[in-house]
């Protein structure tokens, strides 16, 4: 049987339609790595732009720092029981002027 786009075979879906997805762990790891790399790239560009125009763009060393910042400015909320981010509250806004970014 060929796996679907999520890497799950029809047989696996029949055996475990709503339970643990053995492929999910790997998918989450890939997303975490992608987010870390994205934050690194954003921070690099922020540094370059700050050097160019003397701005004060924030730079983050980890995706956790970035997520903490989103929580701090009210763009994301955490579920206090599980420490999982539950939703984005809207378009990100500049903490200084309130404009959408």
Here the tokens at position 60 are: 């983050």
For the chain, give the longest Cα–Cα distance.
58
Is 57 in contact with 49 (CB distance < 8 Å)? yes
User: What's the Cα-to-Cα distance from 28 to each of 11, 18, 69, rounded to whole Å?
Assistant: 22, 17, 21
**CA nearest to 40, candidates 64, 61, 69, 15:** 61
Mean pLDDT by 10 residues, the chain (101 residues): 68 64 70 90 94 92 89 78 56 61 57
User: In angstroms, rounded to a whole number, what is the distance separating the alpha carbons of residues 73 and 21?
Assistant: 34
Query: pTM of the full predicted structure?
Result: 0.56
């Amino acid at each position: 049987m060929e796996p679907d786009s999520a890497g799950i075979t029809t047989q696996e879906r029949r055996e475990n339609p709503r339970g643990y997805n053995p492929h999910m762990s790997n998918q989450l790891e890939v997303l975490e790595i992608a987010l870390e790399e994205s934050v690194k790239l954003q921070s690099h560009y922020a540094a370059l732009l700050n050097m160019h125009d003397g701005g004060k763009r924030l730079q983050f060393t980890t995706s956790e720092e970035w997520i903490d910042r989103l929580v701090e400015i009210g763009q994301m909320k955490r579920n206090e029981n599980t420490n999982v981010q539950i939703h984005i509250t809207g378009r990100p806004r500049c903490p200084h002027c309130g404009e959408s970014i």
